[in-house]
Copies of this chain bind each other. A is one copy, B any other.
């Protein structure tokens, strides 16, 4: 096992990784920017290294600074968390070149599955259904023909993209050429790579994903599926497991398919295969996330498996101690992301200082947060303040518990607004309660004026 793990991230996920390292007796080094000097992960770390200024390009996205910090503190492994460099094949290569174990899949796997076009091609060979569509190596005219063959609406997406950026929905053939050119420009600007591809666009879809663990010895298991349909700005807001519209048998089938695909890909580590469900319940592969996900706690709550612990054991070369039959899912878990943002102004992030902070507690309630009274919420980073996850034997009780937990939570301070009231509106919405919502739920809620 590793002696020292450098945590190359911030916020709640830095703390999450630190907690498991501490429990496993592994020394932790937290690499942090000047803006994060006074955060709990830095306070609790065995050692902390200031790697750069607030701007992520010069700190959390700077491979040289992170590798230098790892080498000077004697770290033998680097945990990238999620976001930042967690899915950079290049960073994975650099770590390898410097004798550091990056906790995640090997660079080749990230390169193959991280690119959306090649992931799509891979998925087809691995026997996963994909939405009609294809890459557009040729010009705009060929792309338009692809779009016509798929049938409108279609979406044009950056091959190197992610996080809902450089992505344009086209409803009419007449709009295609302009959208195609604009998305290429965005893709080049955002990801340094103009390649795009075209895919059928599902208006009323549900978003489902399968969590896998794969060791370096050819063993792969899945830990069930999560439903992440409630999104705003194409980012997840509420996640639950198991997906309320899939039967246990359907989850098992999707899990088995995913395990086979992960094996084919030579996947190692914790990873997530994302799918959309169309209105007929058919599953289509979208992408692979080669890292831990924000919503991993709900899988932990129903399975009892500490995913960060498994990541560390796998990265250290251990064979998985869990077989598929050991993974028994119990009950329902729901996570609500509490962001510092203003839903009434298009979910605009807000900045300020938190004066009063009371996290929820009590039965079957888990809170992952780096916030406390006195913490500053800055515009430098993601607006996530806290993840509130609850467990219950069934979905109705889990929804009631989530609402109770959000109700008792206090986050107050000048300038600070949170999505707490909006999250409770989602929990109370009939479409959500009856699990008849799609990824369009939040837009529906925002566009219907309050009487």
**A121-129, A160-168, A393-401, A422-430: which one contacts chain B?**
A393-401
Against B, the Cβ 8 Å flags (1 = close, 0 = not) of A347-361 are 000000000111101
Smallest CB gap from A305: residue in B: B393
Against B, the Cβ 8 Å flags (1 = close, 0 = not) of A391-435 are 111000100110110011000000000000000000000000000
The answer for the CA separation of A358 and B39 in the assembled complex, in Å, is 12
**Cβ of B373 and Cβ of A368 under 8 Å apart?**
no
Which 8 A-B pairs rank lowest in CB-CB distance, beginning with the nearest? A23-B400, A361-B367, A19-B362, A22-B404, A373-B373, A23-B404, A358-B372, A23-B401
A219 within 8 A of B: no
The answer for the CA separation of A231 and B94 in the assembled complex, in Å, is 53
Give me the interface of A with B, judged by CB distance under 8 Å: 15-16, 19-20, 22-25, 40, 44, 297, 300, 304, 306, 308, 330-331, 356-359, 361-369, 372-373, 391-393, 397, 400-401, 403-404, 407-408
A330 → B minimal CB distance (Å): 6
Since A16-B363, A22-B400, A23-B404 are in contact, a sample of 9 more A-B pairs with Cβ atoms closer than 8 Å, ordered by chain A residue number, is A19-B363, A19-B408, A300-B364, A304-B364, A306-B363, A359-B359, A361-B369, A362-B367, A364-B366
The answer for the CA separation of A286 and B369 in the assembled complex, in Å, is 43
What chain B residues lie within 8 Å of A365 (beta carbons)? 366
**Cβ of A361 and Cβ of B359 under 8 Å apart?**
yes
Q: Known: A297-B363, A363-B306. Contact between A408 and B23, CB under 8 A?
A: no
What chain B residues lie within 8 Å of A407 (beta carbons)? 22, 44
**Cβ of A362 and Cβ of B368 under 8 Å apart?**
yes
A433 → B minimal CB distance (Å): 14
The answer for the CA separation of A365 and B358 in the assembled complex, in Å, is 16
The answer for the CA separation of A357 and B357 in the assembled complex, in Å, is 9
A248 → B minimal CB distance (Å): 17
A6 → B minimal CB distance (Å): 19
A398 → B minimal CB distance (Å): 10
The answer for the CA separation of A367 and B365 in the assembled complex, in Å, is 8
**Cβ of A20 and Cβ of B363 under 8 Å apart?**
yes
What chain B residues lie within 8 Å of A297 (beta carbons)? 363
The answer for the CA separation of A110 and B37 in the assembled complex, in Å, is 56
Smallest CB gap from A408: residue in B: B44
